[in-house]
Amino acid sequence: MKLLFAASECLPFIKTGGLADVIGTLPRALAALRPEYEVRVILPKYRRIPEHFRNAMRHVYDGRILLGWRDQYLGIEELVMDGVTYWFVDNEFYFGGDYIYGSGDFESERFCFFCKAVMEALPKLDFIPDVIHCNDWQTGFIPLLVREYAKRPDYAGIKTVMTIHNLRFIGWAPRGLVMDLLSLGEEAADTAEYSGGMSSLKAGIRCCDKITTVSPTYAKEILTPEYGETLDLDLRLRAGDLIGILNGISNELYDPANDRNIAMGYDAGSLVGKRACKEALIEELGLERNVEKPVFAVISRLTDQKGIDKIRSILPKLLWEGAQAVVLGMGDREYEEYFDWLGRESPNFAFRCEMNDALSRRIYAGADLFLMPSEFEPCGLSQMLALRYGCIPIVRETGGLADTVAAYDRFRESGNGFSFSGRSFASFAEVTGLALSVYYDKPRWEALVKRAMQTDFDWKRSAGEYADMYERLMNE
C-alpha cells in the first residue's frame, strides 16, 4: 500500500505543536509495523527548517503550477530517514518567510498553494498513493481536489483520510479567493461553504472517505454543539465514517532510562535517578534547594484552551503553602506577563517563556505533579510524556485526557493520576489537594509513580489501528 501523509509540520524538521509530534512518529511507526507499505510525508519547505536538514535534501523536481491567474514555481526536495521518504514543497514566496503560520488572505493562499502543489506533484514524483492522509485545516482542500482530479486517469482510485487534531481551527477563507486559487466551480465551492466564505476543514470533512480524530472521547465530544465548533452537524452527518484513534508517543525517543537530556537515568524499577533529576532541576531553575517540597509543572501553550486561568488561580496558594512550580511555554501576552511577574515575586516559582524540548524533558523528569486542566483536549501528548517520566498528571476529564489518565483510587491502589469533571475552579483545587495528600504519603506516592511509568502509550498499538483502517478503506 502506498501512503502519503500531508501536513503543515513534522518533527524533527519543524514544530509548533502536537501535530508535529504525530507526523514525526506515526509514519515511522507504520513503516516499521508494515514494511510492505510505502510511506511518504509531504510538507512545506519552511525557511526555519534547520540548515543541516536543508543541506541533506536532494532536489527531485522543479516546475510551474497555475494558481488561478498566478504562475508559481513548484520545487520538491527529498530526504529519506528511518524508512520514510519526506518531500518538501519548495516555494520561497509562500514559505520563505521567518515564520510558520501567519494570518489573513495570504495565509489562505499559502495553504491553497500547498494543497494544489501536493496534487500536481504526485505524477511528477511517480507516486500515486492509495491513501492520502490529511491533517488539520492546512490540508483540508486536498480531499476536495482529489474529487476534482479523479476525472483524470492517473489520479483515479485515491482514497483520503482527514484527521482532526484540533477542531477549533477551521481554515476560513473568502469564497472568491479560494475559487480563484483552486479553479473551483460553484458546486465544488458549495461543499465547503461557511459563513459567507469557505472552510478548508469543512471541505475535508465533507469530501474525505474517512474522518479520524486523535482520541475516542474527542470523537464523541465533537458530535455535540459544546465541542463541535459549529461543525458538529457536518460531523454528525458523517458519524458512520468517524473514528477516534488515540495518539501515541515513541517509547524509544522518550525513555527516562536513556535520555541524555536529564541528570540521571531511571525507570520504574528504581526511582533514585528521578530524585537526582529533581535536585538538578531545582538548581537549574534557581528554586529553594529543598527536594522534599512538591514541584508542580506546566508545559503548555499559554491559552484559555489549556485551562491557564485555573492554573493561575491556584498557583499563589500552592506557593504560599510551600510548594514549588515551573511553567514552560509561550502564548497569550496576558498569561506571559502574569507568570513573568509571579517569577519575580516568588522564590518558589520559575517561568521560562520559550519552547525548549531539552528543558521540557528535564522538567518532566524532575517535577512531581503536572497540571493540565484543559477546557478541551483532542488528545494531548504532554500528559503521556509526564506519565512516561513519572510526573503525575492532574487533568480535567475531557478528550484524550479522559482516555489516558485513570483517576487514583486509594482503596484499590489503582490509577495513574488525578482527574476532575466539570469546569469549576473548586473542583480543580479539590483534586489538587487530594494529590498533595498522596504526595506526602511516601509509600503510596512511590507506588503511584511506578504505575504511571508503566503506562504504555507507544505508537505500536495506535499504528496498528490506523493500518487496519487503511485496509478496510481499500476494501470498501
Please state, in angstroms and as integers, the Cα–Cα distance from residue 49 to each residue in 74, 82, 170, 179, following that order. 18, 18, 25, 31
pLDDT score, position 262? 98
Count Cα atoms within 13 angstroms, Cβ side, for 259. 30
Q: How far apart are CA 295 and CA 301, in angstroms?
A: 20
List the pLDDT tens digit at each of the 476 positions of the chain.
999 999 999 999 999 888 999 999 999 999 999 999 999 999 999 999 999 999 999 999 999 999 999 999 999 999 999 889 999 999 999 999 999 999 999 999 999 999 999 999 999 999 999 999 999 999 999 999 999 999 888 888 999 999 999 999 999 999 999 999 999 999 999 999 999 999 999 999 999 999 999 999 999 999 999 999 999 999 999 999 999 999 999 999 999 999 999 999 999 999 999 999 999 999 999 999 999 999 999 999 999 999 999 999 999 999 999 999 999 999 999 999 999 999 999 999 999 999 899 999 999 999 999 999 999 999 999 999 999 999 999 999 999 999 999 999 999 999 999 999 989 999 999 999 999 999 999 999 999 999 999 999 999 899 999 999 999 999 98
Residues sharing a CB contact under 8 Å with residue 359, sequence separation 6 or more, in sequence order = 328, 352
- Rounded to 10 degrees, the C-alpha dihedral 437/439/442/446 comes to 130
- Pick from 471, 280, 274: nearest CA to 369: 274
Domains of the chain: 2-248+460-475 (3.40.50.2000), 272-456 (3.40.50.2000)
The DSSP symbol for 379 reads S
pLDDT of residue 156: 85
CA distance 357 to 226: 33
Question: Can you tell me which residue has the cell 474517512?
Answer: 210
d(CA 235, CA 230): 10
- Cβ atoms 74, 63 nearer than 8 A: yes
In this prediction, residue 82 carries a pLDDT of 87
Cβ pair 405, 395 in contact under 8 A: yes
| C-alpha–C-alpha distance, residues 227 and 423, integer Å | 14
Tell me the pTM.
0.93
Q: Do the beta carbons of residue 113 and residue 67 sit within 8 Å?
A: yes
Write b or e for each residue in 21-48: b if 16 or more Cβ atoms lie within 10 A of its Cβ, otherwise e. bbbbbbbbbbbbebeebbbbbbbbbbee
Element (H, E) at 40: strand 38-44
Spatial CA neighbour of 448 closest among 394, 396, 402: 394
pLDDT for 17: 84
Q: Report the interhelical angle of 308-320 vs 333-345 (nearest 10°).
A: 10
Beta-bridge partners for 25: none
- The span from the CA of 192 to the CA of 175, in Å, is 9
Separation of alpha carbons 59 and 45, rounded Å: 12
- Distance (Å, rounded) from C-alpha 138 to C-alpha 371? 30
